[in-house]
Structure 1
């Protein structure tokens, strides 16, 4: 078993799971999605990107590209959250939260693509 692949797979799947956990909170729910889940998703995604740097394979390039797209969208969602949050706290309003969740959903798509690529590469690889 290749420990490097295990660790990278762990971070890819963890990023996907955390991203889904944030998006599942949704803009329609009375309670807002948790900002800490979004922040943790960004951190885990950045670790996954760091693990893929230096991989010169075509699959590695696609995984890096998907990770960069997801990272850019997640960071954008967090910036929108920071800008939209009122001075007194309380979190962004419903319209802003809908924008944040929409951006995070785009990152979720990129994470699904990365996971599909990873699973496909694993299935095609020889022992």
Structure 2
């Protein structure tokens, strides 16, 4: 068993599940989406991105790209939420934008997990 692969896989899958946990719920309901879960998703996504930096393969480049996309979208969602929370009142239209950005990040994370699982199944023992 390769401990590096286990740790990397753990963070890739945890990033996806945390992102899904934030994304799940009514898109316009502020109460359905926790700012702490968004923060946790950002931190775990950044850790997963850092773990992907050392891979010099073609698949590693694609995995890094998907992770960067997820990072950018989640950070943008957090910035929008923060700016609106401190400058005006948070309403359902702003929450829709935040959740939509999280949905894009979720799609990038699903792509990353699918590629990771495909590579794992393809690799020989």
Unaligned segments of structure 2, at least 5 residues: none
Q: Which residue of 1 aligns with 2:120?
A: 122
Residue 70 of structure 2 is aligned to residue 102 of structure 1:
no
Deviations 1:40-84 (A, max 9, x none): 000000000111112101111111000000000000000010111
User: Mapping of 1:1-127 within 5 angstroms?
Assistant: 1-29=1-29, 31-86=31-86, 92-127=90-125
Quote the Cα distance in structure 1 between the aligned partners of 2:46 and 2:73. 12
Moved more, 54-63 or 101-110: 54-63
Contact 1:38 1:78 (C-alpha < 8 Å) held by counterparts: yes
- Which stretches of structure 1, 4 residues or longer, exceed 3 Å deviation after superposition? none
Contact 2:15 2:44 (C-alpha < 8 Å) held by counterparts: yes
Contact 1:26 1:101 (C-alpha < 8 Å) held by counterparts: no
Quote the Cα distance in structure 1 between the aligned partners of 2:68 and 2:124. 28
Quote the Cα distance in structure 1 between the aligned partners of 2:62 and 2:41. 20
> Cα 1:30–1:75, aligned 2, differ >3 Å: closer, same or farther?
closer
Quote the Cα distance in structure 1 between the aligned partners of 2:76 and 2:109. 15
Deviations 1:20-48 (A, max 9, x none): 00000332446240000000000000000
Unaligned segments of structure 1, at least 5 residues: none
Quote the Cα distance in structure 2 between the aligned partners of 1:70 and 1:13. 13
TM-score by length of 1: 0.93
Q: How far 1:121 sits from its partner (Å)?
A: 0.2
